[in-house]
Amino acid sequence: MNKDQVISAANNAGVRLIRFLYCDNGGTIRGKLVHIDSFARRLGTGIGLTPAMQAMNMLDQLQPVPGMGPVGEVRLVPDIDSFVILPYAPNSAAMMCDMLTLDKKPWAACPRSFLQRMITRAAHLGLSFQATFENEFSLFHPQDDGSYLPIDTGLCFSTISMSAGAEVMDNIIAALEVQGIPIDAYYPELGHGQHELPIRHAPALRAADNQIWFRETVRNVADQHGLVASLAPKPQPDQAGNSAHIHWSIWDLAGENNLLYDPKDPYLVSELGYHFIAGVLAHLPGLLALTTPSYNSYRRLQPHFWSSAYTSWGPDNREASVRIASTLWGMEAASINMELKASDPSNNPYLALGGLIAAGLDGIRRELELGKSDAG
């Protein structure tokens, strides 16, 4: 879409307010809103933001970070291609924003710009990425005493749980479809009230944007049903935690050839793919600060929780940090992909995916080698 098409779409839909959104360093989705009367102007000028907002923690406590205090300003400048009409908010639309300095350059502390830099770094090597975040979340009935009751206590993949969540899940899926986010599958998961809703892969930047729309959509549609949707890594101490596994594949710049694929390898993985995995595992302790950033994340990262408690890799090993996913029959070259298990919905998807790409590219650059797989 171009500027005129976005303005026309907003007017035709009766939009009154447009959300200029960003995801901060703590993983919180924030933003400001502009009125339709100033929308055309703000598409070019953006809207002002104090740099201090990037030093806020998850409790809105300002942290002492140099250059992120009361002095200065950056601008939230929306990405035209990210425009969506919000199906869960009346007369509203939203756009994802980049943070620019007053001289119109990407601000160093902008997570979305960080991911774009990693995409550019990969492009210089002739590489592009497809990715998605495979989300789990838990649905609760709020109680008068302040507690929360899961919407079901059915078993994993149980049809009883499907029935309990049928109406709200149908509305969540419909809202995602309206925003142009294709669904891959859906199933009730192991935890009480827990559901998994994988969405289709997309180019890396769009994949991170989709993760923002996903989180916003699940929470808002659930609220319209009188439910609370939790994307916390471990909302119930005695139940399975919520993940946001990152799936990725590496393609040529034309998007025609999956460079992870090697038909001669036992696991169908190319040498480039193995170097990438080795880079991810080499940097995994630091990468966790981006992919599993919250205190609650580490209540999930435990042995025997299928959540990547081990720095290892293997084909379809769901306890390993990096899983080589089985290919689809007859689509081996197109469907070979990797999965990072150590990721959850509390992360900033731009930092998480950008960090993953940076780690893997370092493995390619240094031609890092892997040890024996954990195929158990």
The tokens for 64 are: 């002492």
In a domain, 114, yes or no: no
Q: Element (H or E) spanning 228, and its range?
A: strand 228-230
Q: Are residues 100 and 134 in the same domain?
A: no
Q: What is the mean pLDDT of residues 115-124?
A: 98
In a domain, 246, yes or no: yes
CB 308 within 8 A of CB 342: yes
Pick from 20, 19, 23: nearest CA to 350: 23
Per-residue confidence (pLDDT) for residue 374, from 0 to 100: 53
Q: Element (H or E) spanning 314, and its range?
A: strand 310-315
220 pLDDT above the threshold of 50: yes
372 pLDDT above the threshold of 90: no
58: pLDDT confidence band, cut at 50, 70 and 90? confident
Q: Are residues 75 and 129 in the same domain?
A: no
DSSP for residue 96: E
CATH number at residue 191: 3.30.590.10
In a domain, 376, yes or no: no
What is the percent of the chain where pLDDT is above 90? 93
238: pLDDT confidence band, cut at 50, 70 and 90? very high
Q: Are residues 203 and 334 in the same domain?
A: yes
**Helix, strand, or coil here: 268?**
coil
Q: Are residues 153 and 300 in the same domain?
A: yes
Residue-wise pLDDT tens digits, 262-290: 999 999 999 999 999 999 999 999 999 99
Please give the Cα distance from 311 to 65 (Å, whole number): 32
What is the percent of the chain where pLDDT is above 70? 99
CB 117 within 8 A of CB 43: no
In a domain, 112, yes or no: no
Tell which of 107, 131, 153 closes a domain: 107
How many domains in the chain? 2
Q: Spell out the residues 6+ positions from residue 133 whose beta carbon is closer than 8 angstroms to its own.
A: 199, 207, 210, 211, 214, 244, 245, 246, 247, 343, 345, 349
Q: What range does the domain containing 22 cover?
A: 3-107
In a domain, 113, yes or no: no
Per-residue confidence (pLDDT) for residue 94, from 0 to 100: 98
373: pLDDT confidence band, cut at 50, 70 and 90? low
In a domain, 146, yes or no: yes
Q: Are residues 14 and 136 in the same domain?
A: no
376: pLDDT confidence band, cut at 50, 70 and 90? very low
Q: Which of 11-15, 154-158, 295-299, 306-310 has the lowest mean pLDDT?
A: 306-310
Cα–Cα distance list, 302 to 133, 244, 277, 322 (Å): 20, 16, 21, 15
Please give the Cα distance from 3 to 305 (Å, whole number): 47
Q: Spell out the residues 6+ positions from residue 354 whose beta carbon is closer than 8 angstroms to its own.
A: 111, 114, 115, 117, 118, 290
CATH number at residue 67: 3.10.20.70
Tell which of 107, 142, 176 closes a domain: 107
Residue-wise pLDDT tens digits, 156-180: 999 999 999 999 999 999 999 999 9
Mean of the per-residue pLDDT values for the chain? 95
Please give the Cα distance from 93 to 217 (Å, whole number): 12
In 193-293, alpha helices (H):
204-224, 271-282, 284-291
Q: Are residues 167 and 67 in the same domain?
A: no
Q: Are residues 204 and 339 in the same domain?
A: yes
CB 364 within 8 A of CB 272: yes
Q: Are residues 128 and 82 in the same domain?
A: no
- Exposure of 233 in the CB half-sphere (CA atoms within 13 A): 23
Q: Are residues 61 and 146 in the same domain?
A: no
Residues in the chain: 376
Q: Are residues 76 and 167 in the same domain?
A: no
Q: Are residues 236 and 184 in the same domain?
A: yes
In a domain, 181, yes or no: yes
In a domain, 372, yes or no: no
Per-residue confidence (pLDDT) for residue 371, from 0 to 100: 78
Torsion of CA 178, 180, 183, 188, to 10 degrees: -50
CB atoms within 10 A of CB 308: 28
Please give the Cα distance from 135 to 196 (Å, whole number): 6
322 pLDDT above the threshold of 50: yes
Tell which of 80, 107, 134 closes a domain: 107
Q: Are residues 19 and 127 in the same domain?
A: no
